[in-house]
Structure 1
């Protein structure tokens, strides 16, 4: 089903979605209302609901719009290059949205509609290009055919989100090189008969 355009085109759409993020930052998800968003944006409530039929859909659209200038995918010709590019993009996302994400973490556990919208509209869109990168690498013989690509793609978000959201410490871009070389690539190459090396312990 096609979405009704906002009067004024892309610029008006961007403005409304940016205002949505502003209201979300100020009020939190629970107290965010469509009325306040359209009031600030001087938009038609009917038109907004035609395009985004729920508050969760509007919020997810605002998150996606905030990172719309980042590449949808990377194909550098190597798994290492693809992963580094992906991890750097993920850091860019967190620099823009960490405060919003922190406010949504608890809400996602309570609100099944928001959680479903986030999975479908935000998480799956970020997951697919990374899975594709692993599949290309497997086809090139860069990783084991038995590697669990669905687990591998979650490593970077798990580390970056934990550090940023729970400790308040950002992950530096330089640290992504260690994450790629010391964690993800060894796991990607591991097989049942050739497991990754155990870390050295004192």
Structure 2
């Protein structure tokens, strides 16, 4: 099955999601469609399985002893995977906007698991007193991936490792330590109403 999943990813890189066919995949590995459909009932399921297989070397958790260490390790892995799989990820993100089945499979098969990895790192940090008790983990864990993927997929630029580390040190960690005490500036009061001058008397 490893060969089939690796081949699926290769075909995905060559053709994109829309033009990928299970017929093409099985012809390259000399397997039968029945074998594939017994394990993966749809193209979406097969493609997500191939993507998850490609990143299966990622750790189930980062536990370096500090939140900074965990986030830097996660950042390094994110940058490495973007170097390797940016085109695949771009295609999947584009397709999942139109394909609810793919979106669900990608969320359940990959995104939820990575979210749990991040949640575990922040939970341990909270227990160690490294972050504010009210730190908004739901927002914090998304910051680094959002910036990195925007740069890659929208601007066509890679993120240097040093810049990724600065994002952790200068954005994510300060926000985590400050918690919800960080607030928007107060809204300035409205200007006073303009006075209407009485017309001159005749």
Shorter-chain TM-score: what band? 0.7 to 0.9
What do residues 94-148 of structure 1 show as CA deviations (whole Å, max 9, x unaligned)? 1111011112222111000000111110111111111100011011111011111
Task: Calculate the aligned-residue CA RMSD, in Å.
Answer: 1.6
| Bigger CA radius of gyration | 2
Q: Tell whether the 8 Å contact from 1:190 to 1:196 is kept in structure 2 after alignment.
A: no
Q: Tell whether the 8 Å contact from 1:131 to 1:149 is kept in structure 2 after alignment.
A: yes
Q: Give distance in 2, aligned partners of 1:69 and 1:52.
A: 21
Equivalent residue runs for 1:114-133 within 5 Å: 114-133=102-121
* TM-score (norm: length of structure 1): 0.87
* TM-score (norm: length of structure 2): 0.87
Moved >6 Å (runs of 4+): none
Residue in structure 2 matched with residue 16 of structure 1 by the alignment = 4
Q: Tell whether the 8 Å contact from 2:44 to 2:105 is kept in structure 1 after alignment.
A: yes
Structure 1, unaligned stretches of length 5 or more?
1-12
Structure 2, unaligned stretches of length 5 or more?
186-202
Residue in structure 2 matched with residue 77 of structure 1 by the alignment = 65
Instruction: Report how many aligned residue pairs link the two structures.
Output: 185
Q: Tell whether the 8 Å contact from 2:135 to 2:178 is kept in structure 1 after alignment.
A: yes
